[in-house]
Every structure is written in C-alpha cells, then in structure tokens.
Amino acid sequence: MLGEGIIKGMAETARNFLGSYVSDDRLTTVQYPEERTPQFENARQFPFLVFDGSDPLKGLRCVACQICEKECPPKCIYIVKSKDKRPDYKGQMQLYPVTFDIDLSVCMSCQICVEVCPFESIKMDTAYELSTSDRFGGLLVSKPQLAKPNDHYRKIHPTDAALSDAALAAEVAKAQAKARADAEAKAKVAAEAKAKAAAPNPVAPVVAIA
C-alpha cells in the first residue's frame, strides 16, 4: 500500500532519535579536542627529516640529492645544496642541504618524497594539528623544524623504522666489508710489492752484467 514504507521509515528514525538518548553506544561521534581515537600506524600527514646522533643539523641523513624536490607533485620542497662535504653515516663524504623548506599549505601528504628518497632520510610524520596563526612564515616549514631524531620515527612507525634501520645497517655492513676487502686487497698488493722489492732479482744482475 502507498505510504506503508513512509510509516516504517518514520518509525525507524524515531527509534534512532530516542535510542541516541538512551544508549551512548549508538553515538559514534568522537568529541574531538577532548577525546581522540588512537592513530593508525600508517597514518601520515607531513614529511620530516630524520637525523642520527644528537645534533639535529649535523646528523641529518639528507645528502641534498634533490630527488624529492624533483618528484614532489605540487613542487613544495625547496633545497639549496652545500658547497662543502661532510661524512655521512657510512663515513662517505657527501653534500648536505643548507636550506630545506617544505610548504605546509601546498603539501598534499602523498608520501612520494618518502618513496623516492634513496637515503632513508625523509619520512612522514603523524602530527596533524598543524594550524598556525601566521599564514606566510608559519606555513613554510624549514630545516630546524623538519629535523627529528630517528627515535621519533621508531616511535610513530615502528615497523617501517625497523625495516629502514635494517636496510641502513646492511649498507653499513656492506660498506665495512668492502672497506675491509679493499684494505686486505691493498695490503696484499702492498705486501707483494714489498716482497718483490726485497727479494733478489735473479735476472737483473744478468742484465746488469750484460
């Protein structure tokens, strides 16, 4: 019959209306500033730069390769390379960023900068209350604000941080093994050269005599 569905629907909404006063389980709203839901591990908001050690600016892993700057879709990263070099975590001499700015108002949280970085140096942060009352300077996040310790990364994304640490450790181990092998090879060459120099040459005198 016409109108039956309307009556049923009205009953349903009335049930919801009254039910929401009776049982709090129905209300799914989280009262935000006072209540918060726990964050998911893979939540992401805005990039930060990882540093090792204790000095934020000296320990930055970033080597100013500018891959992220080129790949960022809305082009919100700005990097100025250094003139000098300094050793990175492997002890290799590398450039470092003198300026590293990200425009908060432009970044779209796509995480592409993180995906392309070959040095595990830029990662996504989970902080989401990023509003500021200064809409020009306050929205341009610079190097000192971006630099965060590796422990912070371990805390917010434990799984990813473990993988990243393992990858870096493997690189360091490989570099050390290579250095050791190089050193051994060098030592061997040197030893041979020494031995050659020390041992009397049976031919030479002959030549010399001749």
Count CA atoms within 13 Å of residue 100 on its CB side.
Answer: 29
Report the nearest approach of ligand SF4 to the CB of residue 120 (Å).
8
Taking the least distance from each CB to ligand SF4, the nearer of 62 and 168 is 62
Rounded to whole angstroms, the Cα distance separating 101 from 146 reads: 8
Q: Per the structure block, which two tokens stand in for 28?
A: 């799914």
Which residue, chain included where needed, has tokens 């422990």?
151
Query: What phi and psi, each to the nearest 5 degrees, are found at residue 39?
Result: -85, 150
Rounded to whole angstroms, the Cα distance separating 42 from 163 reads: 14
Binding of ligand SF4 by 65 (CB under 6 A): yes
Taking the least distance from each CB to ligand SF4, the nearer of 121 and 164 is 121
Q: Is 187 helix (H, G, I), strand (E, B) or coil?
A: helix
- Residue 74 binds which entry of another protein, ligand SF4, none, with Cβ cut-offs from 5 to 8 Å by kind? ligand SF4
- Residue 32 binds which entry of another protein, ligand SF4, none, with Cβ cut-offs from 5 to 8 Å by kind? none
Chosen residue from 13, 37, 54, 131 binding another protein by CB under 8 A: 13
Rounded to whole angstroms, the Cα distance separating 123 from 159 reads: 13
Within residues 23-42, the interface with another protein by CB under 8 A covers 26-29, 31
Which is it for strands 147-149 and 46-51: parallel, antiparallel or unpaired?
A: parallel
Chosen residue from 51, 88, 94, 102 binding ligand SF4 by CB under 6 A: 102
Binding of ligand SF4 by 79 (CB under 6 A): yes
- Residue 94 binds which entry of ligand SF4, another protein, none, with Cβ cut-offs from 5 to 8 Å by kind? none
Q: Give the binding-site size for ligand SF4 (rule: CB under 6 A).
A: 26
Which residues fall within 8 angstroms of residue 132, CB to CB, at 6 or more apart?
138, 139
Q: Which residues sit at the interface with another protein, rule CB under 8 A? A: 1-3, 6, 9-10, 12-14, 16-17, 19-21, 26-29, 31
